[in-house]
Amino acid sequence: MERVLNYAKYAFVTLAFFFVSCTSFSSMELNYSGTEGKSPSAVEPTLQYTMSVELDRLDLESRGYRLIGQSHFTHTEYSASYLASQVRELAMQKGAVYALYGGLFREEKVYTEYDEVRVLVSPKTDTSPAVYNTIYRPRQRVETYYDYYAYLYVPLSSDELAATKIGVAFEDLSTAQRMALRRNTGAYVRVVYVNGPAFAANLVMGDIIIRLNGVDIVSSSDLQRLLDGLVRGQSVQVTVLRDGREINLMMISE
């Protein structure tokens, strides 16, 4: 009977350890959301720890990288080496070659726990056993929580970059931008790819493209349609709104 109980105890401890290990190990993956599927990669990914997430994301995208997925979760403090290993494994599993990651302080939580203490009330005598009282002493445990994040990227191919025609990524104006600019039309330049035609012509992130070769741009779909109609080597005049002024920029499409 004792052997059976010991075996059951061993099995329970083993399963509990396995469950805890898997839960901790998969925190990064369980909270992952991807925009596209990629095969696992044997290429060692480049890992970049960052506290300036948005700036570094824009910088990476301007260098020709595309976001394929991200993970966000809150957890108690990880060691730097453990966090890096989790990001590395996730990046390789998802086929990413570059990962931005980090953690920002969220909060501290104080937990009260109680230790059981046996206090001798009367010692053992020849005629009676020792008598104890059980008391519970409180102690506090502080846990620090962080918001962890990881952004996974792959490089754009030369064909994908060429398909942009002028080397920019853009989107419709947001409601806040429409209110600030007091206009509804145009396409907001989100990324300017380094060494592309727009980069060489000094078009910058944050410009609002309002005309292409003299044709008014109502929305990002209008701009995309006009860009799709360009041929390689064609001269392009892009009119942008910058700091309240209209600026004409000349470039050659790819």
Walk me through the domains of the chain, giving residue ranges and CATH numbers. Answer: 30-108+142-155 (no CATH), 111-141 (no CATH), 158-252 (2.30.42.10)
Q: Which of 110, 105, 112 is nearest to 145 (CA)?
A: 105
Q: Which two tokens stand for residue 147?
A: 């918001």
The pLDDT-based confidence of 26 (bands split at 50, 70, 90) is: low
Q: What is the pLDDT of residues 96-151, one digit of tens each?
A: 999 999 999 999 999 999 999 999 999 999 899 999 999 999 999 999 999 999 99
Q: What is the pTM of this model?
A: 0.76
The pLDDT-based confidence of 34 (bands split at 50, 70, 90) is: confident
3-state secondary structure at position 232:
coil
> DSSP for 47-104?
EEE-S-HHHHHHHHHHTTEEEEEEEEEEEEPPPHHHHHHHHHHHHHHHT-SEEEEEEE
3-state secondary structure at position 45:
coil
Q: Which amino acid is at 53?
A: V
How far apart (Å, rounded) are the C-alpha atoms in residues 77 and 26? 15
Neighbours of 15 (CB within 10 A): 10
Q: What is the pLDDT of residues 150-189, one digit of tens each?
A: 999 999 999 999 999 999 999 999 999 999 999 999 999 9
Q: What is the pLDDT of residues 180-216, one digit of tens each?
A: 999 999 999 999 999 999 999 999 999 999 999 999 9
Q: Which amino acid is at 28?
A: M
User: Quick check: 47 and 77 in contact, CB under 8 A?
Assistant: no
Phi, psi of 19 (to 5 degrees): -65, -45
The pLDDT-based confidence of 91 (bands split at 50, 70, 90) is: very high
